[in-house]
Amino acid sequence: MTQASPDLITFGESMALFMPPEHRALERASTLEQGFGGAESNVAVGAARLGVSVGWFGTLGNDPFGHMIVKTLRGEGVDVSRVKLSSEAPTGLMFRETVAGRLAVHYYRKHSAASRVQPEDLDEAYIRGSKLLHVTGISMAISESSRRTVERAVDIALDAGVPVSFDPNLRLKLWSIEEARDALLPLAAKADYFLPGWDELQLLYETSDWDHVVERLSALRAISIVKSKGDQTVILNNGATEEVPFYPADNVVDTVGAGDGFCAGFLAGIVKGMTPVEAVKLASVTGSLAVQMRGDWEALPTWAVASSRLGGQAWVER
């Protein structure tokens, strides 16, 4: 690894996030809470808090939202040296609200700075010098050029012998399921670690037959980590299957970011030299803690907290 490259690298779109207080609907809110979110930057924060050397890059608007995102990520210990600020396009926005007791997300990301990214924008040496590249299907969905950039980054990593982690992160507000299948399944075939949810696999493979899905996953070169198969995570590795129960959440407040928290824990575990099963156990802890506070990444734990939960240590309140 070169000095310029962190162990774990990821990239994508981060957006300014606005939420009404007290889980209100947007049309009835007089004030909004500001933050930011994005699958890949959420993962980067989570991994950094777990003590992993991690870098996130992407293109943001040269605006107050872009500056806020960069400063916050840097403060969390994430390397942002490859982030670009564009004066030609804005940082994307997203709004979250609660409607009839269910979460609703509204995106304002068309023509955003991130959607204009090109394969030529990649720092190839930065990717080649890392130990693990993590990408998601969201970056493939926001624009054609972003999709080509993800594909190019994966090829750069594989050519250099850098393992690739892929979370499909299926977002049907961004594209159709047919478009998603055409883009995501070929990338899953290239990955070293494939981290889909059971609900995503049913849509991607067009079946709810678990045995058929296992057959499809077993044909991949990747170690597959299937999230939310009932109340457990299923690991498929070289034909063997292992199940890891969820770590219980004491107080569920906000489920957004649970999958990213899980990914952060899993990838941090792999970088730290854990086995896939050990990494999934860590991921279950980080995913559980991620849902116990408002926001996409704010509740993600430090290594001290996560390791104490893994070790079953009692929490001292006072």
CB–CB of 246/255 below 8 Å? no
204: region left, alpha or beta (phi > 0 left; psi from -120 to 50 alpha): alpha
In terms of C-beta density within 10 A (0-12 exposed, 13-18 middle, 19 or more buried), how is residue 315 classed? exposed
Helix H or strand E encompassing 5: none
**Rounded to 5, what percent of the chain is helix, strand, coil?**
40, 20, 35
Which residues neighbour 69 within 8 Å (Cβ) at sequence distance 6 or greater? 14, 16, 36, 41, 60, 91
Decide if 281 contacts 309 (C-beta within 8 A). no
Residue holding tokens 């996953």?
Answer: 217
- The widest CA-to-CA distance across the chain, in whole angstroms, is 54
> Among all chains, which residue has been given the structure tokens 């700075």?
113
- Six-digit token string for 268: 């941090």
105 three-class SS: strand
Q: What amino acid positions are annotated as catalytic residues? A: 260
